[in-house]
Amino acid sequence: MDKEHFERVVDALVTLKDTSELMLDLAYSSILLNSRELAREVSELEDYMDSLHTDFELLVLSSGFKPEESKDFLGLIRLGVVTEQIADAAAQIAEVVLRELEPHPVLKLAIEEAEETVTSAQVSEESILDGKTLREARIADETGMWILVIKRGKTWIRPRPSTQIRAGDTLIASGYADGEEDFERLASGTARP
Amino acid sequence: MDEWEKIEYKPISVRNLLVEIKNLSELMLDLAYSSALFHSIELAEDVLELEKRVDTLAYLLKMNTMIAARDANDAEALLGVSIVASSANKISDAAADIAYITLREIGVHPLVREVFERVEEHLGRAEVKPGSILVRKTLDELDLAARMGVDVIAVRRRKDWILDPKEAESILEGDILIARGTAAGINELKDLAAGIMKELED
């Protein structure tokens, strides 16, 4: 198999894995914040996952592998199937919000306890975060809060150390409750560096 | 054949059950991907063991939510809890499916591993042998994150799992540490746990 084709297969797998995990983060956050907006995003991502998954399977099947390599490729197909299962589970969680089942207090408490707290803040132009990558921003060191997801306009970005933060981004983060204030100040630009 | 654990009702709070199911399912997913991508039979076996535990917890949660529902309003309010728990259980099943890729020797194409090594943080497993300098030290004292860039995310102590261990937690002989970090850091931790490396570097 040529190298270029293989790289496309792997890229597609990485995207599937990232998208399924992003959906899960968003789904739990949608319950915690009782946010129909987040929940709707999860169900839209589910449709997107379906098409990603089909593309991925077609890519794998058109790899032109030899019979003795078939197990290695079966492993790839199976990983793809699992990301789909995770996406389905995430969509099921988000559906609780979309169907307007009032989230039971126990549910919020459980998610809160599991993830401490979840909060969101918009990055202002004055913020020292504007233009920095997540690696440079060291938000976890400064505030004890971890970025779950970045919302930029209509898209949701799963954070990587190299992801650049821009003014206008909404950062959704989880962490210890006492870091919440520092986190909000950092994003709004009122924090002293 | 698998042994099936008999399910008996135990009064455990729905909240505690849900927290544990959710946390375990997320840990399992991380362990499972690592087992498949880095071909670790031990991690895969841990996943299957945790899967049984999640199944048991899910049964207990169902029974406890049934008892908690006294009328139509309760039923409506608890439906969400039950759906989220079953979704988390589904995720643990998905993790077990990944573990089977490793255990049934299906394997994942070795080139995939190369790519994931570049993009993913490593997850590793280190067994604490007698004579390791880690024994009887707390995580706080060891300060592994600052020293070698690894974070202990779970400790397996015989049949028990300590998720997200506290800083004051002491490491005991026989513990299995599950840690996240750089490849070099994980290897260093393994050497310390095995007693091959005898000193902590600053």
Model confidence pLDDT, tens digit, residues B30-51: 899 888 888 889 999 999 999 9
> So what CATH class is B121-194?
alpha beta
Model confidence pLDDT, tens digit, residues B173-190: 999 998 988 878 888 999
Do A63 and A151 have their domain in common? Answer: no
Do A33 and A78 have their domain in common? Answer: yes
Count of domains for chain A:
2
Q: Does any domain span residue A193?
A: no
Model confidence pLDDT, tens digit, residues A143-177: 878 887 888 887 778 788 888 999 999 888 877 76
Do A70 and A156 have their domain in common? Answer: no
Q: Give every strand in the sheet of A155-157, ordered side by side.
A: A117-122, A170-175, A145-152, A155-157
Give just the sign of the alpha carbon dihedral B19, A90, A148, B80.
Answer: negative
Contact A17, A32 (CB under 8 A): no
- pLDDT band of residue A193 (cuts 50, 70, 90) is very low
Model confidence pLDDT, tens digit, residues A107-133: 777 776 655 566 788 999 999 999 999
Most confidently predicted of A75-84, B33-42, B100-109: A75-84
Average pLDDT for residues A30-55, to the nearest whole number?
87
Do A97 and A7 have their domain in common? Answer: yes
Do A149 and A83 have their domain in common? Answer: no
Which of B78, B84, B109 lies nearest to residue A93, judging by beta carbons?
A: B84
- pLDDT for A104 beyond 80: no
Give just the sign of the alpha carbon dihedral B90, B95, B96, B97.
Answer: positive
pLDDT of residue A160: 81
pLDDT of residue B115: 67
pLDDT of residue A29: 82
Q: Which of A95, A107, A134 to mutate to test the interface with B (most CBs of B within 10 A)?
A: A107
Domain of residue A135, CATH code? 3.30.70.1450
- pLDDT for B149 beyond 80: yes
- Domain limits of chain B? 14-103, 121-194
- pLDDT for B5 beyond 50: yes
Q: Which of B17, B102, B106 to mutate to test the interface with A (most CBs of A within 10 A)?
A: B106
pLDDT of residue B119: 61
- pLDDT for A183 beyond 60: yes
A168 CB neighbour count, 10 Å cutoff: 13
Domain assignment of residue A68, given as a range? 3-105
pLDDT of residue A117: 65
The one-letter amino acid at B174: G
Do A37 and A93 have their domain in common? Answer: yes
pTM of the model: 0.78
A140 touches chain B (CB under 8 A): no
Contact B151, B181 (CB under 8 A): yes
pLDDT of residue B58: 95
User: How far, in Å, CA of A33 to CA of A20, rounded?
Assistant: 20
Of chain B, the percentage scoring pLDDT greater than 70 comes to: 94
* Two tokens, residue A152: 């930029």
Residues of chain B with Cβ-Cβ distance to A89 below 8 Å are 87-88, 90-91, 94
- pLDDT band of residue B86 (cuts 50, 70, 90) is very high
Average pLDDT for residues B111-126, to the nearest whole number?
74
Average pLDDT for residues B140-156, to the nearest whole number?
88
Do A34 and A100 have their domain in common? Answer: yes
> So what CATH class is B14-103?
mainly alpha
- pLDDT band of residue B120 (cuts 50, 70, 90) is low
| Residue B195 Rama label (left phi>0; alpha psi -120 to 50; beta) | left
Question: What number of C-beta contacts closer than 8 Å exist between A and B?
Answer: 107
A134 touches chain B (CB under 8 A): no
Assign 3-state DSSP to chain B and report helix, strand, coil percentages, each to 5: 55, 15, 30
A4 touches chain B (CB under 8 A): no
Do A10 and A82 have their domain in common? Answer: yes
Of A105, A129, A163, the position where a domain reaches its end is A105
Do A59 and A125 have their domain in common? Answer: no
Of A85, A105, A125, the position where a domain reaches its end is A105
The one-letter amino acid at B176: I
- pLDDT for A90 beyond 90: yes
